[in-house]
Structure formats: C-alpha cells, structure tokens
Amino acid sequence: MKGINRFIFYINGGVIFLTLLSYLAPYVNPNSFWPIAFLGLGYPILLILNGLFILLWILIKPSYALVSLACIGIGWKPLYNLYALPTHTLDTTIEQPNLLKIGSYNISQLNRINHLEGEKKEARKTEFKNFLEQHDLDILCLQEVSIRNMDDIRRSLDMVTFFHHDNYTGIISKYPITRNGTIKDDKDKTFAVWSDIQKEDTIYRVYSVYLQSNLITKDANQLIKASDLQEPKTWERVKLILGKYKAAIQFRAEDIILLKSHIRDSPYPVILAGDFNDVPHSYIYNQLSDGLFDTFHFSKGMQSTYGGDIPLLRIDYILVSRYFNAGTFSRELVEFSDHFPVIATLAP
C-alpha cells in the first residue's frame, strides 16, 4: 500500500510542478519561451487533475490533499478568470437610455448555416436574423464576416457599419460613427478595426479584433477522435499542432504591442471586443486586459465561447475601460458558428 501511495504522490507532484509552471504563462512572452504558453492553454485540465488528486487523498491520506489544495490556492487569479463570481452588479434604477449593449461574435462566415441547403438553410438564416433583432444591440463587433453577410446584417438591423475586408472584421452601430481606422502588423496585414461611436454627448472608441488564428482546429479534432499513441502519424500530428500554435502565439504577441499602444492613445472610453484566439490564462489576455475590465466578471460560472470539439476554451471577449462601473454579461448558446456570441450591457 505504501508503494502505491508513493507512486500516486510522485504523479501528483508532477501535476503540481506543471501547474506551477503554467502560472508563468501570463507573464512570459511567447517570443522568449513559447512552451509556457502551451501549459497555460492546458491550465483547466491541470486544475481538474489537481481536484481529482485532492479527492483521492481525502480518501486514503487526507493530509496529502493539502499540497494540491495549496497549489490551486496559489493560482487564484487564473481560477478567477476561469470561473466568474460577479464582482459588480447592474443597478436596475439606471435609466435605460444610459445603458450600452455590446455584442461580439465570430460568425465563421456563418459556416453552420451555409452548409445547409434549401428550406433548412433559409430557416436557419431567419433564426439568425431573429436572434440579432431580439437582442437589440447598440453595437455589434463581428469577426470572420464577409462583406455580403455584413451588408445583410446591417440592412436587417438598420444600423451603420465599418468593415475591413483584409481580416473580415467589422463594427455595426446603432449610433453615428464619427471616425474609423485599422491597425496593421509589420507585414501590413490588418488584425483590428476601430470606430469612434457617439451616443448623445459621449464618444466611445470601439475595437473589433481578430487576432492570428492557431489554425489547429482540424488537426486537433482529428487527434481527439482518432489518436493512437502507437501510430507515428499521431506524433507527427502533435508536432504539427505545436508548430502551428508556436507560430500563431508569436504573431499575436507582436500584434498586441501595436494594439496596446493604440488603446493607450485613445481619448475616449474603450470597448475592446473580439476573438483573441487565446485563453484567459495567457500572455495575450494578460497584456490586453491590463487597465481594462473583463465583462465576463459580470456573469457567474464558466463561459467557454468556442463550440468545437476542444472543450473549456474562452477565446472571445468584451473588455472595457474602468469608465463603466457595472453591467451584465452573457454567452449565448446558439449554433450559427463554431463560436458562441458574447453580449455585455454596460452602465457608466
């Protein structure tokens, strides 16, 4: 029995060691040492494993459970960003005109609508239109949206738009757009668009962001469904996934330098929305959320936003200036895309 306990203890120690290393992910630039970022991506799994070890030790040697419990406690911040406990509540006495309702949605070219045919396709298009109309958004940030879909949505909602075809990203607003612009990387590729939107006497600077995709969804899905550790092809696919992930996070780390600089120079309250293609326990999120508030914390529980086969991924965000004091947040479980839309109602 002692031998079994010792074996479990060593395995538990390995999980704790990896968990502690993962806590460095928000602070280590992927261009300096990228493997730490991969551990950050795996933080929810490491958290679950630590939880299982705690339960196991409670049954066989309770005092040992304190080690994993302490490990989880040290990492309270990633846990805070994984599971929301509302820190601000919306004052229902605020008059409706003073509220601002924002949505962000990577519609993935409406890939879960366009693959349908005939009446089914038309019915789903109507459902999508009704979904947008029912939420009555003031501002909608879209990613992976074609100019045709952008025009259809604009006409449906009777709103004004700004769209950039380079990265299929746009902003739709119920209120006047006074200025527009794009943010490009060193290779002259657009990765974010922005608009100054005026509501009554207040101007907001709204960013719609689509950061470099990891381009690993198809490979990861195949690995999940048909992985065999004895097959050389499995390890070739793992190597391919790691290579793509490394390249993508290093691109994103370069792009956010430009994005942060632009945000710092904004003369107006900022709303940063979009698909970051990275999790909250990451360098990318940590840098972009610096000085901004993640509206996810207006909600309760876990709110993963990726609807593919890879679980527990929150990669779509609405971050706002501290100008906003309270609000609500929701993640809508609709299947028009492989992402779920996020919606925040903000109160100044």
Domain boundaries, the chain: 2-82, 96-347
- Can you give the pLDDT of all 348 residues of the chain as single tens digits? 677 788 888 999 999 999 999 999 999 999 999 999 989 999 999 999 999 999 999 999 899 999 999 999 998 899 999 988 876 666 555 566 678 999 999 999 888 888 888 888 889 888 999 999 999 999 999 999 988 888 888 888 888 888 777 778 999 999 999 999 999 988 888 899 999 999 988 999 999 999 998 876 666 666 556 655 566 666 677 777 788 889 999 999 999 999 999 999 999 999 999 999 999 999 999 999 999 999 999 998 889 999 877 778 999 999 999 898 878 899 999 989 999 999 999 988
CA distances to 38, 47, 71, 170 from 301, rounded to whole Å, are 24, 15, 21, 29
Partnered with residue 142 across adjacent β-strands are: 105, 170
pTM tops 0.95, yes or no: no
Q: Token pair of 256, please?
A: 């956010």
Measured in Å, how far apart are the chain's first and last C-alpha atoms? 61
Q: What is the full DSSP assignment across 220-241?
A: HHHHHHH--TTSHHHHHHHHHH
Judge contact between 290 and 324, C-beta under 8 A. no
Task: Determine phi and psi for 34, rounding to 5 degrees.
Answer: -75, -30
Residue with tokens 């790691």: 242
Partnered with residue 87 across adjacent β-strands are: none
Which CATH class for the 96-347 domain? alpha beta
The identity of residue 127, as a single letter, is E
